[in-house]
Structure 1
Amino acid sequence: MMKKRALLLHPADNCIVALCDIARGDTVYWDSGETLSAQAVSLGHKLACVAIQRGAKVIKYGAAIGSATRDIQAGEHIHTHNLHSDAIAIFHHHNAGYQPDQEAP
């Protein structure tokens, strides 16, 4: 019996999330597939479940979370070394009524 070691959060995702620490070379099973881990990956970190080309969107939760900064092979760890966040900060202090020269009550 195969033990599920990763989770595909949404059917459109091209990455899976490690449910435990995974060693390099381990077979990683998830609900609908399997891959070999190219590197050691810690609990909660992402692995590519398919090949992702440089510049392509990394999809998690069914939404783009960033762009691949290089080609990523299935089973590779996805993190800041090969992913650029596409998030745009939309919160600003001036939107929250913050006044830097106001004294606290």
Structure 2
Amino acid sequence: METHFIAHDAADTVGVVVVEKVLAGQEATGWIMETDETVTIKALVEVPLGHKLALADIKNEDTIIKYGNDIGRAVSDIPKGGYVHVHNVKTKRW
């Protein structure tokens, strides 16, 4: 079974795509490194290599966790399987 995305920590709210792209509607398989668990998420939109896929529903103002670290906050609701990027995540620094 091909791994399409990885998450380092069980608390991560996003996974990072590790294949050329995940297609809209594709059942993407992910590996949670901390627990050695395999999960499947249906991608709602195309997500390119190195970009983030929501592992669960993320509400506006929720903290985004990647590699076990806070990387910012959602500025809109992001559904499970959604594309997480600069259009819907902002830093907490400013």
Q: What is the TM-score of this pair, normalised by structure 1?
A: 0.77
- For residues 3-47 of structure 1, what are the alpha-carbon distances to aligned partners after superposition, in whole Å with 9 as ceiling and x for unaligned? 211001212101000011111111111123111111111100001
Structure 1 stretches of 4+ moved >4 Å: none
Report the counterpart of residue 14 of structure 1 in structure 2. 13
Decide which structure has greater strand share: 2
Return the alpha-carbon distance in structure 1 between the equivalents of residues 41 and 93 of structure 2.
28
CA RMSD of aligned residues (A): 1.2
- For the Cα contact (< 8 Å) 1:50–1:73, is it kept in 2? yes
1:86 paired with 2:86, answer no
Structure 1 regions of 5+ residues with no counterpart? 89-105
Larger relative contact order (Cα-Cα within 8 Å, sequence gap ≥ 6): 2
Percent identical pairs in the alignment equals: 30
- Contact 1:65/1:87, CA 8 A, preserved across alignment: no
CA distance in 1, matches of 2:8, 2:46: 21
- When the two structures are aligned, how many residues end up with a matched partner? 87
For structure 2, which runs of at least 5 residues remain unmatched after alignment? 32-37
What does residue range 22-41 of structure 1 map to in structure 2 within 5 Å? Answer: 22-31=22-31, 32-41=38-47
